Amino acid sequence: MDSYAAAEAKPLAERDGEGKIIGGHLADLYAALLAKGATAKYAGVLRTRAAVVLDKAGAKRVSELTPSRVQAAIAALRDSAWGWRRAITTWRPSRNCRAGCGATAGRGSTRLPT
């Protein structure tokens, strides 16, 4: 079996009775992030966010995962009451600018990278 067929045979996420991810590609993603030195908290947050997008897209296998389905899922999440902004941290001047937007570069700078 080639690598594409093996990837297609494996589900994107296998869940236990409580809904926790116990297998599939998302479990592999979590393990790979931990192996590369990511914290368990970061890896868990990323796995959860990916699972939300995949669930919204309705994809169960890799072949069902298309850019248009993912974009539609993200757009639906962004527009929903679920609060996409809670799931993905965004830069907001009202929260992130200490000295106003336009502070000089340096330690603690509030300028956005260009």
- Encode pLDDT of 30-88 as tens digits: 999 999 999 999 999 999 888 888 888 998 888 888 999 999 998 888 887 655 555 55
Contact status, residue 21 vs residue 13, Cβ threshold 8 Å = yes
Please check whether residue 54 is in contact with residue 13, taking contact to mean a CB–CB distance below 8 angstroms: yes
Give the pLDDT confidence score for residue 82 in this predicted structure: 57
pLDDT confidence band for 114 (50 / 70 / 90): very low
What distance in Å separates the CA atoms of residue 47 and residue 14, rounded to the nearest whole number?
12
What is the model's pLDDT at position 71?
93
The pTM (predicted TM-score) of the whole model is: 0.63
